[in-house]
Chains A and B, each alone.
Chain A
Amino acid sequence: MAMLEVKDLHTRFRTDDGVVKAVSGVSFSVEKGETLGIVGESGSGKSVTCLSVMGLVDQRNAELEGSVLLDGQEILNAAPKAMRDVRGTKMSMIFQDPMTSLNPVKSIGWQLEEAVLVHHDVTRKEARKRAIEILEHVKIPRADQRVDDYPHQFSGGMRQRVMIAMALINNPELVIADEPTTALDVTTQAQILNLMLDLQREFHMAIIMITHDLGVVAELAKEVVVMYGGRVVERAAVDSLFTEPQMPYTWGLLGSLPRVDVIQDRLQQISGQPPSLLRPPSGCSFNPRCEFAMDVCRQELPALEEFHAPEHLFRCHLDEETRREIWAAKQAAMAAEVTVG
């Protein structure tokens, strides 16, 4: 059984300007101990998807529909009390910005202990022991002394380690990481990504990695979901996604990336802007920016189709022959540029 199964999730926000369809019919699943990457630009609905899964969307002005099964148990629209029991112990979240997600006036020890005390009937002393133990796991030097320090006494990378420690302190089976390394420098990012891989091996938890960085996804994830305009536009195993992407937006993403292995004179850009979720374009949400858009793309939303294997799903009206030709041409164009060994 999958650790998390999201089926046809819809999240809509009521605003003064109308209803924002932030997430429209998203489905995916994560197996135990595996990593799923969710890629997309700002406004693609990737963060809202995960906040909906965590039950962190404010229900007073949002509508949630569909189904979210955590270890077989339905948690979408569950009672707040039930969600509190699940959050932290079964699934937890690592946020992007550790400075704004930590309380600046409490020591990190206090904040870690709180996470233990909320879920377990233990004394503060025992909780503190657990806090030090988990800080050692995330490789904070001199954890027994640093436990009494405040967030501002830590560097950005160290703070992100504390955030990871906090997410892991109750041994969750699923960790959702929302752009955990975006605010960090490359060398620190490498440290944090390696740490997450080590911890995953040790604790065998499932990870959902939300990012806009295709590089991070390529390194960590086993399966990738590409989101655009609140929908899943492609979903595939990581190798399959990078070697035979089937959807113009994914082609654009891969082409617009300055790469280390290829020197390009010009990047293959995607023209235009991401769509408004308030007034989404009719038909395929990518059609206004798609260089291959046909009439049918403007009228009909393409269904999620299978490409050969059932694990590779995509949304596009182009037929298989055309897609293969276009991708081959794009690859040839990239390879024609000066390559470096």
Chain B
Amino acid sequence: MSADGQMTEATAGAAPNGAAGSFGEELLVVENLKKYFPVTRGIVFQKQIGAVQAVDDVSFTVRQGETLGVVGESGCGKSTMGRCIMRLLEPTAGKVIFDGQDITRLKRSDMRPVRRELMMVFQDPYASLNPRKRVGFIVGEPIEVHNIGTAQQRKRRVQELLEIVGLNPEHYNRFPHEFSGGQRQRIGIARALAVNPKLIVCDEAVSALDVSVQAQILNLLKDLQREFGLTYIFIAHDLNVVRHVSDRVMVMYLGKAVEIATKQQLYTEPKHPYTAALLSAVPIANPELGRARRQIVLEGDVPNPINPPAACRFHTRCPRFATGTCDVDDPELIRRQGSGPNHLTACHFPLEKWPMSEDEVRRAPVPQQTPTPA
């Protein structure tokens, strides 16, 4: 990581395609985060017979004002990771350092002030709003919980928030069912903004919306980031959406981070075969480009996370699989030969170029002797 922290919040937010170095201080540092869910047998005398390794040894940093996109297929652990950062789930091991403070072992009461600065926007705008509460209450609840201002000030703040997210402040007394999906997601965003957080974790925030409404919400999130210098962790399975909102992108597979790079690097010169397969699998809304596209189709399904493949977890489906290396030695997430700064890949045989046809990817690779350390 280049130590380029002199840029202010405002300019960092305004840089649309900035590299990782052009943002502010490190706001969130995640070190070796692990979350295992125990698998038990027996009703009275429960015995642990295994563990779902939902997140296994994931490390990354997020800088002030940037957006880190997290992509991966369902079951790769991206949502679990988001919840561990929020401490909605207790991490099994590892550290989450937010704004210089290790929040992994904080007590509930000590955690409360931190929660003001860490907010979450959920996927399903139908399930995440209490149907029996009015919008004013839903949006104002975080302010009330944190005991900020008088009742009147709170009401004014809520109306201001509704306006910020593009809703009519007069809708203060309506119930969630009176709103459409896109409007509900706006309510969820207003609620997340209520106490001026620093970091917002968006967990599939636009997945349930129609494309035209999805564009409205994505634009809104970008505008808010510029205005308030927000930092986002944007978890999604849609690679196009992630590309649109993110500055840097992390790709996860079966609980592991397999590649992390700036948006530009990741989408134009992916190094991990899994990233390449993901990119090549996205249908392109342009018939001409679509026909020219060279697809890498992965065989089979994502393996069971209770009993993940040894060493590199992707080796069972990888077109570059080499016996004796990939199934023996777990590749580290480090900078590999031929990749740019801050471009980390967990693969013994990173791709030499992009785009590549399936045959080129499959070609027996020459093992790298000593990878360049980051």
Hey, which bits of chain A sit against chain B, CB under 8 A? 41-42, 155-158, 185-191, 193-194, 212-219, 238-239, 242, 252-261, 263-271, 273-274, 338, 340-341
Q: Which of B17, B182, B239, B244 contacts A267 (CB 8 A)?
A: B244
Which residues of B are found within 8 Å of A186, using beta-carbon distances?
73, 237, 239, 278, 281-282
Which residues of A are found within 8 Å of B182, using beta-carbon distances?
273
Nearest-Cβ distance from residue A274 to partner chain B, whole angstroms: 7
Return 13 A-B CB contacts under 8 Å, by A number.
Answer: A41-B212, A185-B73, A186-B282, A187-B73, A191-B297, A191-B298, A218-B284, A218-B290, A257-B285, A263-B243, A266-B222, A269-B219, A274-B180
- Central interface residue in B180, B212, B280, B290, by most chain A CB within 10 Å: B212
Taking A190-B283, A257-B211, A338-B17 as given, write out 13 further A-B residue pairs in contact, using a Cβ cutoff of 8 Å, ordered by the A residue number.
A155-B302, A157-B301, A185-B237, A186-B282, A190-B297, A191-B298, A213-B283, A217-B285, A218-B285, A239-B288, A256-B212, A271-B216, A274-B180
Which residues of A are found within 8 Å of B240, using beta-carbon distances?
257-260
| Also in contact, A261 and B286, with CB within 8 A (given A187-B298, A190-B297, A273-B213) | yes
Hey, which bits of chain B sit against chain A, CB under 8 A? 16-17, 73-74, 180, 182-183, 210-216, 218-219, 222, 237-241, 243-244, 263-264, 267-268, 277-290, 295, 297-298, 301-302
| Number of A-B pairs, beta carbon distance below 8 Å | 138
Q: 4 closest A-B pairs (Cβ-Cβ)? A: A215-B283, A256-B215, A258-B244, A190-B281
Which residues of B are found within 8 Å of A273, using beta-carbon distances?
180, 182-183, 213
CA distance A216 to B238 in the complex (A): 13
Q: Is the beta-carbon distance between B281 and A187 smaller than 8 angstroms?
A: yes
Which residues of A are found within 8 Å of B244, using beta-carbon distances?
258, 263-264, 267
- Can you name the residue of chain B whose Cβ is closest to the Cβ of A215? B283
Which residues of B are found within 8 Å of A264, using beta-carbon distances?
244
Q: Is the beta-carbon distance between B222 and A41 smaller than 8 angstroms?
A: no
CA distance A269 to B214 in the complex (A): 8
CA distance A214 to B277 in the complex (A): 20
Q: Is the beta-carbon distance between B16 and A265 smaller than 8 angstroms?
A: yes
Nearest-Cβ distance from residue B235 to partner chain A, whole angstroms: 14
Q: Is the beta-carbon distance between A260 and B281 smaller than 8 angstroms?
A: no
Q: Which of A216, A254, A255, A267 contacts B218 (CB 8 A)?
A: A267
Q: Which of A187, A193, A215, A274 contacts B278 (CB 8 A)?
A: A187
Q: Which of B16, B214, B215, B283 contacts A216 (CB 8 A)?
A: B283
- Central interface residue in A212, A214, A260, by most chain B CB within 10 Å: A260
CA distance A253 to B282 in the complex (A): 18
| Also in contact, A41 and B73, with CB within 8 A (given A186-B282, A193-B283) | no
Q: Is the beta-carbon distance between A215 and B285 smaller than 8 angstroms?
A: yes
Q: Is the beta-carbon distance between A189 and B281 smaller than 8 angstroms?
A: yes
Which residues of B are found within 8 Å of A270, using beta-carbon distances?
212, 215-216
CA distance A126 to B240 in the complex (A): 47
- Can you name the residue of chain B whose Cβ is closest to the Cβ of A185? B73
Nearest-Cβ distance from residue B190 to partner chain A, whole angstroms: 17
Which residues of B are found within 8 Å of A259, using beta-carbon distances?
240, 284-286
Nearest-Cβ distance from residue B182 to partner chain A, whole angstroms: 7
Q: Is the beta-carbon distance between A218 and B286 smaller than 8 angstroms?
A: yes
Which residues of B are found within 8 Å of A188, using beta-carbon distances?
73, 301
CA distance A191 to B299 in the complex (A): 8
CA distance A158 to B222 in the complex (A): 38
CA distance A190 to B213 in the complex (A): 25
Nearest-Cβ distance from residue B159 to partner chain A, whole angstroms: 21
- Can you name the residue of chain A whose Cβ is closest to the Cβ of B211? A256
- Central interface residue in A186, A217, A257, by most chain B CB within 10 Å: A186
Which residues of B are found within 8 Å of A216, using beta-carbon distances?
283
CA distance A242 to B284 in the complex (A): 11
Q: Is the beta-carbon distance between B268 and A212 smaller than 8 angstroms?
A: no
Q: Is the beta-carbon distance between B73 and A258 smaller than 8 angstroms?
A: no
Q: Which of A155, A193, A260, A268 contacts B215 (CB 8 A)?
A: A268
Nearest-Cβ distance from residue A290 to partner chain B, whole angstroms: 12
Which residues of A are found within 8 Å of B212, using beta-carbon distances?
41, 252-253, 256, 269-270, 274
Nearest-Cβ distance from residue B295 to partner chain A, whole angstroms: 6
CA distance A267 to B290 in the complex (A): 21
CA distance A185 to B218 in the complex (A): 21
Which residues of A are found within 8 Å of B211, using beta-carbon distances?
41, 212, 214, 253, 256-257
